[in-house]
Amino acid sequence: MDQVYIDKVLAGDPYAFKYFLTTYKHMAYSVAHSIVKQEHLAEEVVQDAFMRCYQSLATFKKQSKFSTWFYRIVVNCAFSTARRLKPEPVEFSAEEHDVAWDENAFDKLLKKEQEQLIQEALLMIPANEALALRLYYLEELSIQELCDITGWTDSNTKVILFRARKHLYGTLRRLMKEEYYGT
């Protein structure tokens, strides 16, 4: 399906690129956010990545899937942005966490807290490890696709995933302990 829209964009169809925006924007944001760790920066990275994608579409050689090629652009843009900036503290907004009470409110709250805890933990581990976990587990990419996107070797990717799981587990334990004991 991607190739059809690539051909349309290259043929000059001004609306064809919208397909790529709607198909890949969420994953691109997730990847960018796991690296730059700030919402506004992740949004800028995604915009930059889509611009680079559009400008370089003619150079896409079809040696890999379009998604792999595009995510590689996102990763490069995100790491480039991360290198230029110093980390800033994460802000907490109580309004974002306000949940109306109903029969399932407790379940919704518990799920939201778990998701926030995981997101917080992903922000605390090294960016390359957070990226590997997001791509492998959340996007269900293969090891080979991860290698194509990141430029890592097969064995390096497996080591990074192993370390990432270990760091995520330790970070989650620490966060849950702090939450439970209030330390």
* 31 and 107 fall within a common domain: no
CATH assignment at residue 77 = 1.10.1740.10
Could you tell me the pTM of the whole model?
0.64
Flag whether pLDDT at 99 surpasses 50: no
Let me know: does 141 contact 156? Beta carbons within 8 Å: no
135 is written with which tokens?
């791509």
Rounded to whole angstroms, the Cα distance separating 27 from 131 reads 11
Distance CA 70, CA 60 (A): 9
- Residue 120's CB is within 10 A of a number of other CB atoms, namely 14
Does residue 93 lie in a domain region?
no
86: pLDDT confidence band, cut at 50, 70 and 90? low
Last residue of a domain, one of 88, 120, 137: 88
Which structure tokens are listed for 116?
Answer: 């926030």
Residues 108-138 pLDDT 10s: 666 777 778 888 888 899 989 999 998 888 8
Of the residues 53, 88, 123, which one is the last residue of a structural domain? 88
Residues 83, 6 share a domain? yes
Residues 112 and 53 in one domain: no
End-to-end CA distance of the chain: 52
